[in-house]
Chains A and B, each alone.
Chain A
Amino acid sequence: MRIFIAVLIVVVALRVLTRRFPRWLSIGRYSPTRTNSSGRVLSPWERQLHTVVTFAKISVRRYFRDRTAIFFTVAFPLIFLFVFGSLNGGNNSVSFNVALIDQSRTQFAQNFDNQLRANKMFKIAQNVNDLNQAKDRMSKSEVDATIVLPPDFGAVKNGSNPSGQAVIYYDQNSAQAAQTVSSVMEGIFQGINAKYVQIKEPFSVVSKSTNTQGLSKMDYTVSGLLGFSIIGLGIFGPVNYFPEMKKQGVLRRLHITPLRVWQFFVSSVLSNAVIGLFSIAIMLAVATAVFNFHMVGNYFELAAFIIFGILTIFGIGLAIGGWAKNENQAAPLANIVTFPMMFLSGTFFPRYAMPEWLQHVSAYLPLTPIIDGIRMIATEGKHLTDIGPQLGMTLVWGIIIYAIAFRVFRWE
């Protein structure tokens, strides 16, 4: 009820604020009376609906015949999914790039060398034979640390057990990584030492995995990628084809007809929602099948929220594409508007990793509540009733965006 009153207030406010608004709302004032096939007089609303549905239906059909459009809306986001999916490796294990320089010729050193290479914590860099090469690779940050086994490593001296000291080199940039590498090495040596020297240490620590399924990095990334997909569909799509339609005179032709701006907008939004759901369904299916994405929420709620998000973001594309006379006007403006959302709304980079002030600012970008909402439904299993703030902010943005889009739209 409260939402209804809020919407009513906004609509009334807009009617007062803009004198153009009542014109968009007026329907069928001049439409001559028409009948349908059975002779019944069609109400103005039925005719409006027929107009909107026909336009939307034909746009969707056209989309499925357009390979370029399918590439940009389906294949392109999938490429991003694969890139980020492989970067995340599908698991949460940590590993370090290290160079290994084995100067010792002892059998022990040989075995130790093999043991390190088999260790999953280390990725041993290829083609590093001396310390200078290793330093060079470290300065390029290709290698986190260098492990040197000196010539006497593993030799048997004054006793029956082999001994030695490995040296770990690191540069200033990778001090932290080097420390972890040192700890890992210490752990390995402790295991070896225990074989030679039988001492029972009074204190020790053991870490055990709880083996429960938490949020994987991929689960987090997928929501961001869906947000990216919505931007691609909603902004870059119309920003490209609206100026094109103006150039070809498609919009001029429609302008000569009684078609109203709002009918054109609603039909565009409808077709975009259908195409968007299609593209996002494919992405979710691939993410689930290939990258172990875990959808814990309700699919219908997710779909409903995504449609709402597409509708809002598509308004930005409508505003820019509808305003621009040509591509040269549209492209720079689209980039200015899109880039902050692309980087700050949590598409590729999680917002929690940003400085606090930036988190506060980016919270108010239109895409942020959409990505947050998708994430809450998909990965946290929240319901639409739980994400009121996200719904509210998306709605406010939607109203602002469409008010602008209606005002700046030009047919030519």
Chain B
Amino acid sequence: MRYSDLGMADKILEVKNLEKSYGGKKVVKGISFDVKRGEVFGILGPNGAGKTTTLEMIETLRPIDGGRATINGVNVANDPQKIRYMIGVQTQSTAFMDKVKLTELLEQQAAAYGEKTDVKKLLDDVDLGDKTDSYIESLSGGQKQRFSIAAALVHQPKIFFMDEPTTGLDPQARRNLWDLVQKIRKDGTTIILTTHYMEEAEVLCDRVAIMDEGQIVAMDAPKNLVQKLLKKGFKKEQHVEQANLEDVFIDLTGKDLQD
């Protein structure tokens, strides 16, 4: 499917000519993209490409300098408060205070939306059902990531933003998180994520946008991008191996999560 074919699909996020400058230097140079309801959309790119800034503008955290972003037809710049009820953002695990139980952290997060929520069920959903009375500081890296996902979903957002969700995780925890992302997607939540790991993008994303120096240089389904490259005559040095070192590692240390 080509980008131009998306016109008919149900778009939950529309970004048009979005711009951002810091101190006269343009870091996001008028990018445009749409995200369909229910898809997993990846934004890839080297550090400094403008991925995080783009997300932060859509998340109402940074003022938009030019262009516009609309979620469910609501303009982000005009109605940030309404946007905040519709989006969930996975934050760093340090963003949760120590000495507060996981259940209390979730109650507090829900209260920020003026809501009460079934915190036990939320923890069960991310496999932390036995950790209700734990503090965040006693969790492993993978558990912390899963907890921060639970916290971002307390108010059942329409779009879920994840900024490098698996950076710093070991392979088992990463695979476990991929399963969780797919589960959330199955529940009907649209997901937008950034990542440095191409394998992750291939596994999770329906479509990806590749950003470089503030611009989108390519956007399509991962498979199509690979096909295009091959059509240009690209040839990788051939090693016909059915497994790689990571497969060996997983085989030896077990596929199940160890945390």
Contacts and interface: CB of A to CB of B under 8 A. Distances in A.
B61 A258 contact: no
Interface stretch (B33-41, B103-111, B189-197, B215-223): B103-111
Contacts of A47: 114-115
Contact of B85 (A32, A48, A55, A253): A32
Nearest to A52: B111
B85 to A, nearest CB: 6
Interface residues on B, range: 20 to 34
B114 A48 contact: yes
B164 to A, nearest CB: 14
A253 B104 contact: no
A61 B133 CA distance: 13
B151 to A, nearest CB: 8
A30 B111 contact: no
A2 to B, nearest CB: 36
A50 B111 contact: yes
A55 B107 CA distance: 9
Contacts of B91: 249, 252-253, 256
B52 interface: no
Most buried by B among A37, A42, A62, A256: A256
Contact of B95 (A51, A65, A253): A253
Contact of B59 (A51, A245, A248, A256): A256
Given A62-B99, A248-B94, A256-B91, A50 B104 contact: no
A252 B95 contact: yes
Contacts, number: 82
B173 to A, nearest CB: 21
Contacts of A249: 91-92, 94-95
A234 B219 CA distance: 52
B94 A258 contact: no
Interface in B23-53: none
A31 B94 contact: no
B153 to A, nearest CB: 12
B108 to A, nearest CB: 5
Interface residues on A, range: 20 to 34
Interface in A51-79: 51, 54-55, 58, 61-62, 65-66
A259 interface: yes
A47 to B, nearest CB: 3
Contact of B112 (A36, A252, A258): A258
A412 B92 CA distance: 14
A277 to B, nearest CB: 21
B122 interface: no
Given A252-B91, A255-B61, A257-B112, A30 B82 contact: yes
A140 interface: no
Interface string A6-39: 0000000000000000000000111110101100
A66 B97 CA distance: 11
A40 to B, nearest CB: 13
A58 B113 contact: no
A51 B82 contact: no
A259 to B, nearest CB: 4
Interface in B113-142: 113-116
Given A250-B95, A256-B61, A58 B114 contact: no
B108 A58 contact: yes
Contacts of B116: 36-37, 50
A285 interface: no
Contacts of B79: 30
Contacts of B87: 256
B107 to A, nearest CB: 6
Contact of A58 (B84, B89, B100): B100
Given A51-B112, A62-B99, A249-B94, A258 B81 contact: yes
Contact of B107 (A31, A42, A58, A255): A58
A40 B68 CA distance: 38
A70 to B, nearest CB: 12
Given A54-B108, A250-B97, A34 B82 contact: no
B96 interface: yes
A41 interface: no
B94 A252 contact: no
Most buried by B among A36, A250, A412: A250
Contact of B113 (A55, A61, A252, A258): A258
Contacts of B96: 250, 253
Contacts of B151: 253
A254 interface: yes
A255 B79 CA distance: 15
A249 B52 CA distance: 15
B150 to A, nearest CB: 13
Interface string B177-200: 000000000000000000000000
Nearest to A241: B97
Most buried by B among A28, A54, A66, A250: A54
B85 A30 contact: yes
17 contacts: A30-B79, A30-B82, A51-B112, A51-B114, A54-B111, A55-B112, A58-B104, A62-B100, A65-B99, A245-B97, A249-B95, A250-B95, A250-B97, A252-B61, A253-B151, A257-B109, A258-B112
Given A61-B104, A253-B95, 11 more contacts: A30-B85, A36-B116, A58-B108, A62-B100, A248-B95, A250-B95, A253-B96, A256-B60, A257-B112, A258-B81, A412-B61
> Which 7 A-B pairs have CB atoms at the shortest separation, nearest pair first?
A47-B114, A54-B111, A249-B95, A257-B112, A253-B95, A259-B112, A65-B99
Interface of A: 28-32, 34, 36-37, 42, 47-48, 50-51, 54-55, 58, 61-62, 65-66, 245, 248-250, 252-259, 412
Interface of B: 59-61, 79, 81-82, 84-85, 87, 89, 91-92, 94-97, 99-100, 104, 107-109, 111-116, 151
